[in-house]
Amino acid sequence: MSNLPSISLKSETQRLMAEPVPGITATPDDSNARYFHVVIAGPQDSPFEGGIFKLELFLPEEYPMAAPKVRFMTKIYHPNVDKLGRICLDILKDKWSPALQIRTVLLSIQALLSAPNPDDPLANDVAEQWKKNESHAIETGLFTWSRP
């Protein structure tokens, strides 16, 4: 087995720390370099502006050949996130490529907060509410997470 994935993981982690993504922090766990504590600030001009969302990101042994496992730890009312915090995002499933990195995944999740996609839902009830009355869905969502 090659040392390449661990070298890649180390350099990717160093880059994340040295060049953080605006509005996102990803800190490797002290006891497991494959586990990251992620905090994403709700993007400006989005339904989640002002929110602080905690996520966990885990890199499987097969990474970068397999997608990271990511889920919201903060409760969120979003058509693409289920009650367990799992995220419906193509690059975490069938559109994953080893060329993608943790940074790309985090930016994609941040973009999903800016533009929820009720046409590809994970939470069907939330998606239906979003389609019927988006402003009410957004208002409902404001009560599922707390502002700092």
pLDDT value at residue 121: 92
CA 29/CA 96 separation, integer angstroms: 24
For 72, phi and psi rounded to 5 degrees? -75, 135
Rounded to the nearest integer, the mean pLDDT of the chain is 90
Any catalytic annotation for residue 88?
yes
Catalytic residue among 24, 40, 57, 88: 88
CA 139/CA 104 separation, integer angstroms: 29
User: What is the pTM for the complete model shown?
Assistant: 0.89
Q: Predicted confidence band at 122 (pLDDT cuts at 50, 70, 90)? A: very high
DSSP-derived letter for residue 67 is: P
